[in-house]
């Protein structure tokens, strides 16, 4: 048997976690390194346990292990040692990653891992066996680990795996205890996924070790991405125990309603064997309208087909429309009829265009089904890779064979100087020009671990040389360790980094201010690990900047030679309706142009059923049921064994589209706030409603809350006389005559996150396109919205703002939008706005909140840490030990700087805390009950927004 020990994490940076710019204070985030899916959520004996996917060695995905944190109240979390680390062989090679799963309290000791009196906690997780595993290479199977010390240490079961389907994508087991209502028979039920088949697979067991197949569910509703992280639980509708439905949660990536990662759910019945959905959407009928192109007759007809010349499969479009899924492609769904446009001929590699014959726009809408890659058309790009006009520097690195960079006057340092013949390189990257380029992976013997600089000889920037353009690809680092630089007079005046991809693309610097100066171009590589290199080619000085190359997979409406409407896929093989409002182009000649200009991941596009109509087609995806309509709520599952029949759910507040690139510091990712969920009646049947767990109310500061209301919101923007980046906002607005109305949060003079309601579409939205730092990934800047009807002409919102995120609750919690944002430093302004007319503010309350982690003191005006306190203990006898283990510890805080939080610690662990809400409150009492015999050492910590003061130690001895 293998006993699981702790794994040492990479040393944290010296910065206090609380001082890192985007560190959340309300949400759980690990002190350092990477985190993704919540795992093993379980309540046991007064403690909430959060396990999570964790990389103990870095801030990007990898080395998958289970991290662990505990809480007594779902608010304050204490990080614990690594629970279940990845497995290594005797040579130190990783042979098993620990993927997602669940934890149960085995109260009947069915597994035999504990006792009936002291049941074990049992983790059921996915063993993702690496290619180095001797017997299960590449397989995902389900395994067990158990703990008999309240989750502090874990032992992997010697009989692992306990459930193996010989599948590479069988994962994420959620195990529940099911009791048959009639017979009282009780057994374990596992729901897991065959991820690529869009299937939830269900098994039963009596002992957690031996499993029998029950049934499968799916595909159903959203199948635009792989299915992951299922959950299954019963809920009383409207709290009525006589009306119980079952909820099946299925997370998927990509293909969510907002794009990328998200979670859907189904409502129905479960009989202990089979889940039957009552909320599956099956209507695939065409919307009203006239079909212009169905692609069903086996030919392209009058469409102009631009396949890539010489492609052996006539890719990307083929010689005729596809009839469905192509070789090597995941299953294609959502198309109608016998054919469709499918740009996956010969995979993602070939590029080309496909254009319809012209037509006259006579109806208000063009509706069409679209799927495939999420690579939108961007105005001002080119389909080719043409350089700008100008002066080519350094011959584009096309030196005669045998000539090195050093031979031409470049200064070479570090690993790049060890073997000068490597520079320039003839390997690495895509979309370079000619045969040779700079590539710091190839430029030394260590690949991505090469370190050093490549610095050009001086060149003149002449009048008229307004722009320096160049092709760059490779890794992205935002901390200055991997970048190209322009150096003028010894100073770095311009920098750029790569896209975290092999494709080179044009970037340009405006250098007009340096006319008449001499400059140098430098490739600086002080980065190691994956993508720790840059590829550079073709530097051009000229009057105009380069035109970036498009990497689009798009379908476009062309009017008068210009693209006026465009759509792209969701990184999904599922097609869904897109509608273009074209009323303004009535009478114009137009065509539909499909473009595939992408050779790499999701480098294809799907199109079907181009229709003309008087009405917009509704996207099917919006008819499904979503846990959240934002971009950052994924892998959401519920806590097992929660008290009082509560159903508490927790999600990962990130999105796989950009998760590895968010601009945080020593850590990456946070969890969303835990939510209580209930099943409520709606016009569509029972559906989930959510609210942040009420325990967070203890962090609210009503004594300093700001209120406003019963007044007009004038057309335009107004900044409120209240600010904060850790607040709860409750607002009720009536749109009145306004087209749009809403709130700004995390704002400054340059940017803000906009939360609003659009009267024309009756939709709630979060707009983070101008929210601060958005340029770290092209998929981040988003506008996320959901249909929300007004109630009596009013919209009621509750918004939680926590430094780098917003969670918006509307429609009684039936609609939520969760988004990360990365505001400018110090951006904390809050405002109201209306557009197109005046609106009405019914009520507004902005409630500042204390923090829950890293910095618990809210804004309190402190300029220095709290003054010292007096600590005494009221025990039994005046002298001698306490008699029964029940006593008070009293703390009297000092005058001067504010004391905002008082914490009581035992053995370094916080066991109680109090928030001070008034300066007159100076004395706090902590009641200790049931302390065991022996010596107990208690410490006091005092905190305000400026720092923490050690309040001293007090020893209490309890009689034996």
Say whether 37 is catalytic.
Answer: yes
- Find out whether the peptide bond into 219 is cis, omega within 30 degrees of 0: yes
**DSSP tag of 585:** G
CB 670 within 8 A of CB 664: no
The secondary structure element, H or E, covering residue 738 is: none
CB 706 within 8 A of CB 721: yes
Token pair for 443? 């430029």
Phi-psi region of 760 (alpha: psi -120 to 50; beta: other; left: phi over 0): alpha
> What's the CA gap between 419 and 437, in Å, rounded?
16
> What's the CA gap between 866 and 864, in Å, rounded?
7
Q: Hey, which residues does 757 pair with through a beta bridge?
A: 741, 764
Q: Which residue has the tokens 């101008």?
A: 770
Closest listed residue to residue 599, CA positions, set 566, 555, 553:
553
**DSSP tag of 294:** -
Of the residues 16, 19, 37, 767, only one is catalytic, namely 37
Q: DSSP string spanning 808-869? A: EEEGGGTEEEEEE--PPTT--EEEEEEESS-EEEEEEEEEEB--SSS--------SSPPPP-
For residue 400, the Cα-to-chain-centroid distance in whole angstroms is 48
Give the number of other CB atoms < 10 A from CB of residue 319: 11
Closest listed residue to residue 294, CA positions, set 332, 334, 324, 335:
335
For residue 933, the Cα-to-chain-centroid distance in whole angstroms is 48
Work out whether strand 726-734 and strand 716-723 pair parallel, antiparallel, or are unpaired.
unpaired
HSE, CB side, 13 Å, CA atoms: give it for residue 179. 2
Q: Hey, which residues does 909 pair with through a beta bridge?
A: 906
- 459-to-211, 539, 737 alpha-carbon distances in Å: 71, 12, 60
Token pair for 98? 């620990």
The secondary structure element, H or E, covering residue 753 is: strand 753-758
Straight-line distance from the first to the last Cα atom of the chain, in angstroms, rounded to the nearest whole number: 38
Q: Which residue has the tokens 């107004």?
A: 718
Query: Rounded to 10 degrees, what is the CA torsion of 757, 759, 763, 767?
Result: -40
> What's the CA gap between 861 and 316, in Å, rounded?
63
> What's the CA gap between 750 and 826, in Å, rounded?
12
Closest listed residue to residue 778, CA positions, set 583, 598, 578:
598
Closest listed residue to residue 351, CA positions, set 280, 431, 442, 283:
431
Token pair for 687? 């559906």
Closest listed residue to residue 318, CA positions, set 604, 640, 673:
604
Work out whether strand 805-810 and strand 795-802 pair parallel, antiparallel, or are unpaired.
antiparallel
SS3 487: strand
Token pair for 235? 């809920």
CB 15 within 8 A of CB 23: no
CB 930 within 8 A of CB 896: no
> What's the CA gap between 900 and 67, in Å, rounded?
31
The secondary structure element, H or E, covering residue 313 is: none
Catalytic residues: 37
């Amino acid at each position: 048997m293998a006993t699981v020990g702790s794994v040492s994490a990479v040393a944290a940076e010296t910065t206090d976690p609380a001082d890192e710019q985007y560190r959340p204070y309300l949400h759980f985030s690990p002190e350092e390194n990477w985190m993704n899916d919540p795992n093993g959520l379980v309540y046991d004996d007064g403690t909430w346990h959060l396990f999570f996917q964790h990389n103990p060695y870095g801030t990007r995905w990898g080395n998958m292990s289970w991290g662990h944190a505990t809480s007594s109240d779902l608010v304050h979390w204490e990080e614990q040692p690594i629970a279940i680390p990845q497995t290594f062989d005797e040579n130190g090679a990783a042979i098993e990653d620990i993927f997602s799963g669940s934890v149960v309290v085995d109260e009947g000791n069915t597994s035999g891992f504990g006792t009936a009196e002291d049941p074990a906690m049992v983790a059921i997780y996915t063993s993702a066996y690496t290619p180095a595993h001797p017997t299960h290479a590449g397989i995902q199977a389900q395994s067990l680990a158990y703990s008999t010390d309240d989750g502090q240490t874990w032992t992997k079961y010697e009989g692992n795996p306990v459930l193996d389907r010989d599948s590479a994508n069988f994962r994420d087991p959620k195990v529940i205890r099911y009791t048959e209502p009639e017979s009282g028979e009780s057994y374990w039920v596992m729901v897991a996924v065959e991820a690529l088949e869009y299937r939830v697979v269900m098994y039963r067991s009596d002992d957690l070790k031996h499993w029998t197949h029950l049934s499968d569910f799916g595909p159903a509703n959203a199948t635009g991405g792989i299915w992951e992280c299922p959950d299954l639980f019963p809920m009383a509708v409207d709290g009525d125990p006589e009306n119980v439905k079952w909820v099946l949660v299925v997370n998927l990536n990509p293909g969510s309603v907002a794009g990328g990662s998200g979670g859907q759910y189904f409502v129905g019945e479960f009989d202990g064997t089979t889940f039957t959905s009552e909320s599956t959407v099956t209507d695939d009928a065409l919307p009203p309208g006239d079909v212009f192109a169905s692609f069903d007759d086996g030919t392209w007809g009058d469409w102009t087909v631009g396949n890539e010349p010489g492609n052996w499969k006539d890719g990307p479009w083929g010689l005729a429309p596809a009839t469905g899924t192509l070789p090597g492609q995941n299953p294609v769904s959502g198309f109608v009829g016998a054919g469709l446009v499918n740009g996956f001929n010969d995979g993602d590699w070939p590029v080309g265009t496909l254009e319809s014959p012209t037509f006259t726009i006579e109806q208000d809408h063009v509706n069409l089904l679209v799927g495939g890659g999420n690579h939108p058309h961007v105005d001002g790009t080119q389909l080719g890779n043409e350089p700008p006009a100008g002066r080519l520097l350094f011959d584009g690195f096309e030196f005669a064979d045998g000539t090195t960079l050093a031979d031409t006057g470049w200064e070479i340092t570090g690993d790049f100087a060890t073997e000068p013949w490597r520079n320039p390189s003839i390997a690495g990257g895509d979309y370079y020009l000619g045969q040779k380029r700079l590539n710091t992976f190839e430029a030394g013997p260590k690949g991505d671990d090469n370190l050093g600089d490549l610095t050009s000889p001086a060149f003149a920037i002449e009048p008229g040389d307004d722009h320096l353009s160049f092709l760059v690809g490779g890794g992205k680092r935002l901390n200055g360790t991997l970048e190209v630089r322009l150096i003028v007079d010894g100073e770095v005046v311009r920098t750029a980094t790569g896209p975290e991809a092999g494709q080179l693309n044009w970037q340009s610097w405006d250098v007009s201010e340096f006319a008449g100066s001499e400059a140098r171009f430098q490739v600086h590589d002080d980065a190691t690990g994956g993508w720790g290199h840059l590829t550079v080619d073709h530097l051009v000085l000229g009057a105009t900047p380069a035109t970036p190359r498009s990497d689009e997979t798009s379908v476009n409406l062309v009017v008068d030679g210009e693209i006026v409407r465009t759509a792209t896929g969701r990184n999904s093989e599922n097609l869904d309706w897109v509608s273009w409002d074209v009323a303004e182009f009535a009478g114009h000649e137009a065509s539909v142009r499909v473009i595939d200009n992408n050779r790499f991941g999701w480098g294809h596009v799907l199109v079907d059923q181009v229709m003309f109509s008087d009405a917009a087609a509704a996207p099917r995806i919006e008819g499904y049921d979503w846990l959240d309509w934002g971009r950052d709520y994924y892998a959401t599952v519920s806590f097992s064994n929660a008290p009082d029949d509560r159903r508490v759910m927790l999600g990962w507040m990130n999105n796989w589209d950009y998760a590895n690139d968010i601009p945080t510091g020593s850590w990456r990712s946070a969890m969303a706030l835990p939510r209580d969920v209930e099943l409520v009646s709606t016009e569509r049947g029972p559906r989930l409603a959510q609210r942040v767990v009420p325990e967070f109310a203890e962090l609210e500061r009503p004594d300093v809350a700001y209120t406003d209301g019963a007044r007009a919101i004038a057309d335009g923007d107004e900044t409120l006389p209240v600010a904060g980046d850790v607040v709860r906002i409750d607002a009720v607005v009536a749109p009145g005559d306004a087209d749009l109305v809403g709130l700004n949060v995390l704002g400054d003079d340059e940017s803000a996150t906009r939360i609003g309601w659009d009267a024309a579409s009756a939709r709630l939205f979060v707009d983070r396109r101008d929210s601060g730092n958005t340029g770290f990934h092209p998929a981040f800047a988003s506008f996320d919205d959901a249909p929300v009807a007004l109630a009596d002409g009013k919209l009621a919102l509750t918004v939680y703002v926590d430094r780098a995120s917003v969670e918006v609750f509307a429609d009684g919690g039936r609609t939520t939008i969760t988004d990360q944002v990365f505001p400018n430093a110090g951006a904390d302004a809050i405002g109201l706005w209306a557009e197109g007319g005046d609106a009405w503010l019914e009520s507004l309350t902005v409630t500042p909140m204390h923090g829950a982690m890293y910095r618990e003191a809210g804004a309190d005006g402190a300029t220095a840490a709290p003054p010292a306190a007096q600590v005494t203990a009221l025990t039994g006898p005046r002298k001698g030990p306490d008699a029964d283990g029940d006593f008070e510890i009293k703390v009297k805080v000092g005058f001067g700087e504010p004391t905002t939080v008082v914490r009581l610690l035992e053995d370094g662990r916080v066991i109680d805390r109090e928030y001070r809400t008034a300066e007159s409150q100076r004395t706090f009492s902590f009641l200790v009950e049931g302390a065991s015999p022996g010596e107990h050492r208690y410490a006091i910590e005092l905190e305000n927004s400026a720092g923490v003061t050690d309040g001293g130690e007090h020893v209490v001895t309890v009689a034996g």
